[in-house]
Each structure stands twice: as structure tokens, then as C-alpha cells.
Chain A
Amino acid sequence: MNSMIYKKKSPLLLFLVPAFAFLFVFLYYPFFQNIFNTFLKIGGLGRAPEGVNTPWYENYQRLLEDPYMRVAMKNTLILIICTVVFQVGIALILALLVDTIRVGAQFFRTVYFFPIVISATALGLMFNLIFLYKGGMVNQMLLSLGKLPVEIKPSGKMIVQWLDWKDQAHFLFTMLLPVMWQYVGFYFVILVTGLNNIPEDVYEAAALDGADGWKRTQFITLPLLRNVLCTCLVLAITGALKVFDLPWVMFGAGMPENRGWLTGTYMYDQTFNKMNVDYGSTIAVLIVVLGVVLSNIANRVFRPSEDL
């Protein structure tokens, strides 16, 4: 389908040059430069390299030995598993449910998308208020439900033992919950479209064969949705590796006691606050490598065969 109009190729340059000029200068070139930087010694942002590291793979060695890096990797892997299971899982349930109703579907689509359009910084602050130690929303609810130990002094003053949502025992929950909650709506919208794309006659044929309700979901909807689910999975994995703003606003540099690092926040802290620019680049390379490897695995395992 190659029309006469597009036989003459000269306008093509004008169409493509601006975009690819931008991409080469500000995306592809910096990306490869960044890989080079991991072998160099760089003492500060924007400064010229001071030579090659000794040994040249020093940063990679450090990556393996750094205990905080291990913490960051562990937390990030937990985050990935949780996003895949809960984010995509909840989104799938909600999408399947919305698909069965007529009235109000538009309303649910609109409000589920709210958290995505709002800056993670604002959300982080909001969750800080919600999970506040003394008198946050959650703690106030727990108090009114009588779930917090309260001591009444002889003077009549009430001493409440508030629950610290950011301590060692709870921080993982407090950090992961907002991140997961935020993006459910994104996958929800993608899945709903996938559902809308399933032709009506497939369902009609299934109804003739006596399949309805859960059977219909199990044998018709889910297999046909597999491709879209796989897209969601890849997006969820790469997205989880990049998480930065929300945990950064809520926890700052690795709170509590260096147990709260994620790959994104650790990279930022190393580059910016510790001025280990070359080491920061190395962490960035690791993030890209992990993203490519994990999403390839997800594709291998879940991508349906061509004939489906």
C-alpha cells in the first residue's frame, strides 16, 4: 500500500530530522556516554573525567560488594513482584468488573486515573500526612476503632502509643502501598481497552456453547487478553525499576537506617549527594540491564504463540 504521494522522498527528511536529531543528542548519545562513564573517574556533576578507574571495572566490583546496593536490589525486587501481582492483578479484576456494567463505567474510568495525573511529589506528601506518626489519618482511624493501646494518666491525660508506619517493621508496607495504588488505574485503562477490542461475536458463540459467567472469563476473555496482559507486565516491570519520586519524598535517603533504598533513590543519592558520579552511572546501567533482562523473561514466559 504505497501511494503515489509518498514516492517522492525529499519531504521525508523534514519529517524525520528534527525528531531524530533530538533523540540522538539527548537520548542515544548520553546513553552510550553513560556506559563509558562507568569506567572513568568523575569527581562531580558536569566535571570532566579525571582518567580511567583502577582497575577499570572498579565500579562493577563495588556494585557487587556494596551492602546498600544489595538492600536496594532486594527492595526493588520485592517492589517488582508486588507491582506485578497486585497492580496488574487489581487492575485486571477491576477491568473485568467494569466490563460487565453499563451505568457508571465512564465515572470509574475517570476516577481510577486520578492518581496517575497527579505528581508523585504531591502524592508522597499526601501519604506522609496519611501515615503520620502522631495523629495521621491511619492512626486516627485505628485510634477511633480502639486498635491502639491507650494509657490514661491519673491526671486524666490520654497517652496514645501511636504506630510508627515508617519504622523497621512497617516501612516496606508504607513505601510500597502508595506506589502500587498509584498505577493501578494506568493498567486498568489499558486492560479495559483490550476487553473492548474482543469482538462481540466471540462471546455470542461462547454463549451458544453454554459458557457464561466465570467460565466465559476463564476460557474466552483471559486467553484473548493475554497479549495485553503481557504488555502490562513489561510496563509494570520497567516502571517498578524506575520508581523514584514517591519513595524519595516519603523516605528521603534510605530511611530507616539505610534499609529503605530502592535502585532509583540510591542512584540519585550517590550521584547527587555523595558525588560518586561514575558509580551512579554504573547503577543506572544496572537498572537498564535488569529492565531488559526481566522484561525479556516476562515476554518469553507469557507472550502467547502466534496462532492465538
Chain B
Amino acid sequence: MKYGQKRTSQAITYGILSLWALTTIYPFFWVILNSFRQKGLIMSDSFSLPVGEAFTWDNYVTAFHRADFKNAYLNSFLISGIVTFCVVVIAGLAAYGLVRYRFRGRGLLHSLIMAGMMFPVFSTIIPVFRMEAVLGIAGTGNRWLSLLAVVLPQIAGNLCFAIIILMGFIQSVPIELEESAYLDGCSVFQIYFHIIIPAAKSSFATVAIFAFLWSYNDLFTQSFFLRYPQERAITGLLNEISSQAGVNYGLMAASVVLVVIPVLVVYICLQKHIIKGLTAGAVKG
């Protein structure tokens, strides 16, 4: 009796969990499926597998033909790559300094970082735009300067989150390791590179992944600074396609797939780090 009860409750548990998993998987599956379907058929019969007559590559051909995906990928990877690199380096140093050193004003700096998490990008973007326009970075029409104009505020926007996550981890690194390294004659910087970074590797990976994803996916900042076609990054391009495609739903589905696939691949490869790294730091807060 007891055993049977347990079996049913287990079955219900798996049922509910699978139901939600279905909502997170099926929509992507549906879009991928329909990106290979003849465009007229999407509206009448979108659930069957696109085989035989219904199958086509046309949507992808049109997508590459109509929009400059190659350029947009390049822009996006440049922006997000630089943002990720800078965030990891700068936030790592700051988190280490804030955790290990005791100095006056430490509490103040800590609350400044917490406050920084609260500012939505809306509340800083207009002055940043003006500042960058005055400095001659934003709104010049020069592609590389425009990319730089996006990179700078995105680094600042990701720093606070990154520092908080990294601090949580560096705190948990046993200080004895550093002390013995110090006795062996290591400098503070050697300690940072040879002990702290390897020990907090998975949190550095988490921070890197989130910085990359947020930068890659951030439509708001991109649409502020990237105004010309050759500057367009991938999310901006997608937004533009959606407004131009009209009723060409096959093209839309194919564009969604093209934008989503790189991210999903990165995520699935690195997902172990994401969940481990995010959770250990975030909850302490």
C-alpha cells in the first residue's frame, strides 16, 4: 500500500515536471520544424514533420540573401567577446581586492556595488549616449567606434553582478593556500593568478557566460548605439527582419533559428558551469 502510494506520487511528480519541460522545449522544436517548411504550409499545417514536398532550404537561403547575417554575427561576437573578456578581468581583480583586503571605505564600496545592481539601463543610457557623442564615439557612423560605444556601457552594466558572484566564490577559497604560497615567496599577483583563478574557475566561467549572453541578447543598448546597417548586431538584425518580413513566416522562423542556435550550443556545452556557478554565489547575497 505504502509502496503503491509512493509510486503514484512519483508518477505525478514526473508528470508535472515533464509538462513544464515540454513548454520550454516544444516551442523551439516547433520553430525549427517550420523553418524547413514551404512557407505557404506553415499557416495550415504546422505540426507535421516537414518531409518530402513540404521540406525546403529556401527560408535559410532567403534569410542569408536578404539580411547580412555574416556581418551581424561578426559585430555581435566582437561586442560580446570584448565585453566578456573585460568583465571577467576587471571584476575578478575587484572582487579579489574587496574580499581579501581590509581597508577604510570597504563597506561603502560594497554598498555602491549593490546599488549598481539596481540601476536599470534605462536610467543611465541617455547621459551615456550624450557623453559618448561629445567624446566622438557614438553617432559618428564609423562602424568600429559604434561598436565601442556599445561595449563600454555594457561592461559597466555587467560589472556589479559579476563582482558580487565572484566575491561569493573567492570568500570560500581557503586562505591557508594563499598563506603557504606567500611563504614560498609568491607576490600578491602571482597568488591571484596561480591560486585564486584556478580555485574559482567555475564562477569565472559563470560570469563569462552571463556577460556574453546578456551582451549578445541586449536589444535595448544595441538599438541605441547601432543605427547604421553595417553596424547592426544580431538581435538588432532580427528585430529588423521581423518588421520587414511581413507575412513571410518561413523567413522569420529561419532567422529565429539562426540567432538562437549559437547561444543554445554554447549553453548546452557549458551548462554544468552555469548552474553550479550561479547558484553558489547568488544565494548568499
Residues on A with C-beta less than 8 A from B260 are: 118-119, 122
Contacts A101-B13, A245-B219 given: A129-B253 contact, CB under 8 Å?
yes
B3 at interface, CB cutoff 8 A: no
Q: How far does the Cβ of B226 sit from chain A's closest Cβ, in whole Å?
A: 13
Given contacts A22-B155, A30-B131, contact A97 B16 (CB under 8 A): yes
Which positions 252-271 of chain B face chain A at CB distance < 8 Å? 252-253, 255-256, 259-260, 263-264, 266-268, 271
Q: A278: nearest residue on chain B (CB-CB)?
A: B126
The reply to whether A30 and B124 contact each other, CB–CB distance below 8 Å, is yes
Interface segment out of the listed B54-62, B66-74, B197-205, B276-284: B276-284
Instruction: Tell me whether A119 and B259 are in contact (CB under 8 A).
Output: yes
User: Do residues A248 and B219 form an inter-chain contact, with CB atoms below 8 A?
Assistant: yes
A266–B273 CA distance with the chains assembled, in angstroms:
37
> What is the minimal beta-carbon distance from B56 to any residue of chain A, in angstroms?
17
List residues 23-38 of chain A with CB under 8 A from any CB of chain B.
Answer: 23, 25-31, 33-34, 37
For B142, the chain A residues whose CB sits under 8 A away are none
Do B279 and A6 touch (CB < 8 A)? no
Size class of the B contact interface (CB-based, 8 Å): 35 or more
Which residues of B in the span 222-258 have a Cβ within 8 Å of any Cβ on A? 223-224, 234-235, 238-239, 242, 249, 252-253, 255-256
Query: In the bound complex, do residue B93 and residue A231 qualify as a contact, i.e. CB atoms below 8 Å apart?
Result: no
Q: Which residues of A sit under 8 angstroms from B279, Cβ to Cβ? A: 189-190, 192-193, 196
Asked whether any CB of chain B lies closer than 8 Å to the CB of A135, the reply is: yes
A175 vs B266: C-alpha distance in the bound complex, in angstroms?
28
* A270-300 at interface with B (beta carbon < 8 Å): 271-272, 277, 280-281, 283-285, 287-288, 291-292
* Chain A residues within an 8 Å CB radius of B275: 109-110, 113, 189
Q: Which residue of B lies closest to A192 (CB)?
A: B279
Q: Which B residues, 12 to 27, have Cβ-Cβ distances below 8 Å to chain A? A: 13-14, 16-17, 20-21, 23-25, 27
> A4 to B182, Cβ gap below 8 A?
yes
**In the complex, are the beta carbons of B20 and A15 less than 8 A apart?**
no
Contacts of A267 in B (CB 8 A): 122
- A108 adjacent to chain B (CB < 8 Å): yes
As a 0/1 sequence over residues 128 to 143 of chain A, the CB contacts with chain B under 8 angstroms (1 = contact) are: 1110101111001000
User: Given A94-B17, A121-B219, A193-B283: A27 and B120 within 8 A (CB)?
Assistant: no
Bound form: Cα–Cα A228–B45 in Å? 45
Of A52-60, A77-85, A236-244, the stretch lying at the interface with chain B is A236-244
Q: How far is the CA of A267 from the CA of B271 in the complex (A)?
A: 35
Residues B97 and A15 in contact, CB atoms below 8 Å apart: yes
> How far apart are the CA atoms of A126 and B93 in the complex, in Å?
40
B25 & A114 in contact (Cβ 8 Å cutoff) = yes
The residue in chain A whose Cβ has the minimal distance to the Cβ of B178 is A5
Given A28-B112, A94-B20, A119 and B126 touching (CB < 8 A)?
Answer: no
A34 to B134, CA, bound (A): 16
Task: Enumerate chain B interface residues (CB-CB to A < 8 A).
Answer: 10, 13-14, 16-17, 20-21, 23-25, 27-28, 30-31, 34, 42-47, 89-91, 93-94, 96-98, 100-103, 109, 112-113, 116, 118-134, 138-139, 152-153, 155-157, 159-160, 163, 175, 178-179, 182, 188-189, 191, 213, 216-217, 219-220, 223-224, 234-235, 238-239, 242, 249, 252-253, 255-256, 259-260, 263-264, 266-268, 271, 274-275, 278-280, 282-283, 285
